[in-house]
Amino acid sequence: QKEVEQNSGPLSVPEGAIASLNCTYSDRVSQSFFWYRQYSGKSPELIMSIYSNGDKEDGRFTAQLNKASQYVSLLIRDSQPSDSATYLCAVTKNDMRFGAGTRLTVKP
């Protein structure tokens, strides 16, 4: 079992729709959870961090964490073509481990 698993996609949504990205992790004692966005040929950019169960909202982005289910998700509301990128889920205990990423395409 991989430490951090994400659906590889690609996930395609129309402009203005909600994009839902999911991530599961294997280490129950993981403590911090992050979502990064990576455009093609660029480095990862931090977009959300979440540390406790529940929802955390930042603009069009909402991160959701359920430690009992070892599940973290990212919702992107009113998706824009500029949101088209690979989204990486990262989980930390002593060091940071990444999933393989989900490629999102937002179609105009």
Residues that bind other proteins (CB under 8 A): 4, 31-32, 34, 36, 42-46, 49, 51, 88, 90, 92, 94-101
Q: Which one, 52 or 108, has the nearer CB to other proteins?
A: 52
> Residue 84 and residue 55: Cα distance in Å, rounded?
23
> Residue 43 and residue 38: Cα distance in Å, rounded?
6
CB of 49 to other proteins, least distance (A): 5
**95 pairs with which residues across the strands?**
none
Q: Which one, 76 or 101, has the nearer CB to other proteins?
A: 101
Q: Which one, 51 or 107, has the nearer CB to other proteins?
A: 51
CB of 86 to other proteins, least distance (A): 9
CB of 34 to other proteins, least distance (A): 6
Strand 85-92 vs strand 71-76: parallel, antiparallel, or unpaired?
unpaired
CB of 35 to other proteins, least distance (A): 10
Q: Tell me how many degrees the CA angle 76-25-54 measures, rounded to the nearest 5.
A: 50
Question: Is 49 within 8 Å of 64 (Cβ atoms)?
Answer: no
